[in-house]
Amino acid sequence: MKKLPIGISTLSQILSDNYIETDTILVAINDCRYLNKADATAYEVFLSIQTDNQIKTENMKSHEFYFKTEEEMLATFEDHPEFVRNFQLIADMCDKIELDNMHFAQQKRIDGIERLKELAYEGLKRKTAKLGENEKSIYKERLDFELNIIEQANIAEHFLIALDIVNYAKANDVLIEATDSSSAGSLVMYCIGVNHIDPIKHGLVFEKALNPKNMIVPEISFDLSCDIRDEILNYAKEKYGSYNVAYIPKFSSISTKGSIRNVGKALGFSEDEIGKIIKMIPDCYNIEQSIESNPELREKMESSSKIKRLFDISKTLEGVKNGIRTFPFDTVISKYPIYEYCPLYKLSDKEIYFTQFSSEYIKDVGIGRFLLLELKALSVIKDTVKLIGDDFDVYEIPLDDKETYKLLQKGDTLGVFQLESQGMQRLIKDLKPTCFEDLIALIALYRPMPLESGIINNFIDRKHGKKKVEYPLPELEHILKETYGMILYQEQIMQITNKLAGYTPEEANILRKAMHEKKEIEKQRVVFVKRSVKNGISKEKTEYVFDLMAKFAEYSLDKSRAATYAYIAYQTAYLKTYYKEYFLYAT
């Protein structure tokens, strides 16, 4: 067959004949590899970087791989404009991803809320069997509230999958703890057996993770006594389907200095030349900021077309995604196919899919994220319990055991989770904890910012009566009593705003986040002061409390997370106290 020299017009005619003969809908698209036509050189340099070659201008094949306008495409296919317009047919078949509405793929589904309610109320009955009627009503009201929020968010399946993971781990003789705030702060999770900490007894807040103004699918983090992630994911794939389980990748980007180094090499700069230029780039500046702040660098660029070209191309490639990193502990497990939420891809050497959205965007499309991490302390607990015997249940030990606190007060914490460093041993001997709340405070305090601020010494002195326990306002005593008048937890900030200004829990969470992220502080202050004054608190005292909260918000910790680690710490301390030989052998 004679080969025809096919140009656009010839190709268009061939396609047209085939289109008429077979009644096939043809769609004209452009091979798009970069956004703007001016990016062609940067793209060629990018390819040269990948192949570790120097770029040669004469080898550049085309400048046409850019995102063309409709007018440009119509001009290219002027004989058959319908080929271009047929693209709308594809667009019309695609679901619109509404990042401000996480229910776009769930809103018409019944997602297991009745089953979750059944399990939660059964669990509540067991957990509150020994409580009085007034206490039972408090738990019932809290559980009703949480289930209502979960039903509104249409994410009951997310909680049921969490329970499924826990049950699978337990069935395979693996200790598992949910250590995230959304689990520890949830009475639902406590009642169905996902976590073991009573959120009402320990003042943990559900609304911090999920509330009517924060309807995201909460992230759930599990710590495991051994690495059975692959087994869990294989089990999930078999139960829910291969498209319902995926890893979440992290995308690596070309750094500022990396961009200059690689582009310089591709353009033929010597190592010495590149090194001198990179030394003029501050670590925390991008290329544009570096040029603006450094007259010498700006002069170099303006006096040399070669260096100007280096910077122009480097600015285009700076921040471009150039690879992926995979973390097998960061996963998505869904009752429904994940491709309904986000695109998937598969690496040839992997048996599982990956999402094409990174973790910071997963929550925006309503996907349930699970972190599966191995924790040595749980392995120690598991092995110690095996040595003790089947009759011992580590989840039934009392949290107020005096002998355990005596061991902690002596600083005999070698092998005790979170409490075995030399700094922590000194701190725990000074503090002399006498209750579980003290352990939670220890976890929250032993971090860089609290250590540098000096509040730890203030906390210890107040506990032991060396300093008077003072409260910002008498009304706040019941909130701050366990921390001796000091604000340590993010939940306390929420409780204070509720008490003084009548904020709803969801409004209080918005204020907490604003303080933590230092956003719109003055705007938040005006609203808080106005509402507090309306509730009978003086403006002066209100402003003082606001400033105090803003100050402590810088290093306040999520109490729910601190409580989960304090719980594991207490378990290991208890085992060391009463079963020291077994504990040390397991350690």
Residue 161's H or E segment, with its range, is helix 156-171
How does the average pLDDT of the chain come out, rounded? 87
**Sequence-separated contacts (24+) of 416-422 with Cβ below 8 Å:** 416/569, 416/572, 416/573, 416/576, 417/377, 417/380, 417/565, 417/568, 417/569, 417/571, 417/572, 418/377, 418/443, 418/565, 418/566, 418/568, 418/569, 419/569, 419/573
Say what the pLDDT of residue 90 is: 83
Say what the pLDDT of residue 7 is: 45
Say what the pLDDT of residue 301 is: 86
For residue 549, give Cα distances in angstroms to 327, 438, 481, 528, 583.
36, 21, 16, 12, 42
Say what the pLDDT of residue 211 is: 75
The predicted-structure confidence for 262-275, as pLDDT tens digits, reads as follows 898 888 888 898 99
**Sequence-separated contacts (24+) of 146-150 with Cβ below 8 Å:** 146/186, 146/187, 146/188, 146/206, 147/113, 147/116, 147/117, 147/120, 147/188, 149/206, 149/210, 149/211, 149/212, 150/113, 150/116, 150/188, 150/210
Say what the pLDDT of residue 411 is: 94
| Pairwise pLDDT comparison (180 vs 189), residue with the higher score | 189
Tell me the one-letter amino acid at 112: G
With 50 as the cut, is the pLDDT of residue 108 above it? no
With 50 as the cut, is the pLDDT of residue 241 above it? yes
Say what the pLDDT of residue 268 is: 87
3-state secondary structure of 175: coil
Q: Provide the pLDDT confidence category of residue 95 given band limits of 50, 70 and 90.
A: low
Say what the pLDDT of residue 61 is: 62
Say what the pLDDT of residue 104 is: 39
User: How many CB atoms are located within 10 Å of the residue 380 CB?
Assistant: 25
Q: In the chain, pLDDT over 90 holds for what percent of residues?
A: 48
Say what the pLDDT of residue 58 is: 47
pTM of the model as a whole: 0.81
With 60 as the cut, is the pLDDT of residue 129 above it? yes
| Residue 152 near residue 102 (C-beta atoms within 8 A) | no
Say what the pLDDT of residue 421 is: 92
- Listed range (18-32, 196-210, 509-523) with the worst mean pLDDT: 18-32
Q: Provide the pLDDT confidence category of residue 327 given band limits of 50, 70 and 90.
A: confident
- CA dihedral 313→314→317→323, nearest 10 degrees, is 130
Question: What is the arithmetic mean of pLDDT over 446-464?
Answer: 86
Q: Provide the pLDDT confidence category of residue 97 given band limits of 50, 70 and 90.
A: low
| Residue 111 near residue 156 (C-beta atoms within 8 A) | yes
Say what the pLDDT of residue 365 is: 79
Q: Give start and end residues of each alpha helix (H) in 348-421.
A: 359-362, 376-388, 402-409
DSSP string, 47-100: HHHHHT----GGG---S--B---HHHHHHHTTT-HHHHHTHHHHHHHSPP--TT
With 60 as the cut, is the pLDDT of residue 113 above it? yes
Say what the pLDDT of residue 347 is: 79
Say what the pLDDT of residue 218 is: 87
Question: What is the arithmetic mean of pLDDT over 440-453?
Answer: 85
Say what the pLDDT of residue 20 is: 58
Question: What is the arithmetic mean of pLDDT over 552-565?
Answer: 86
Say what the pLDDT of residue 103 is: 43
**In whole angstroms, what is the distance from residue 206 CA to residue 508 CA?**
12
What is the separation, in whole angstroms, between the first and last Cα of the chain? 77
**In whole angstroms, what is the distance from residue 28 CA to residue 83 CA?**
5
Say what the pLDDT of residue 332 is: 93
The predicted-structure confidence for 4-51, as pLDDT tens digits, reads as follows 344 444 445 545 555 556 667 888 888 888 888 888 888 888 888 877
Say what the pLDDT of residue 107 is: 44
Q: Provide the pLDDT confidence category of residue 341 given band limits of 50, 70 and 90.
A: confident
3-state secondary structure of 166: helix
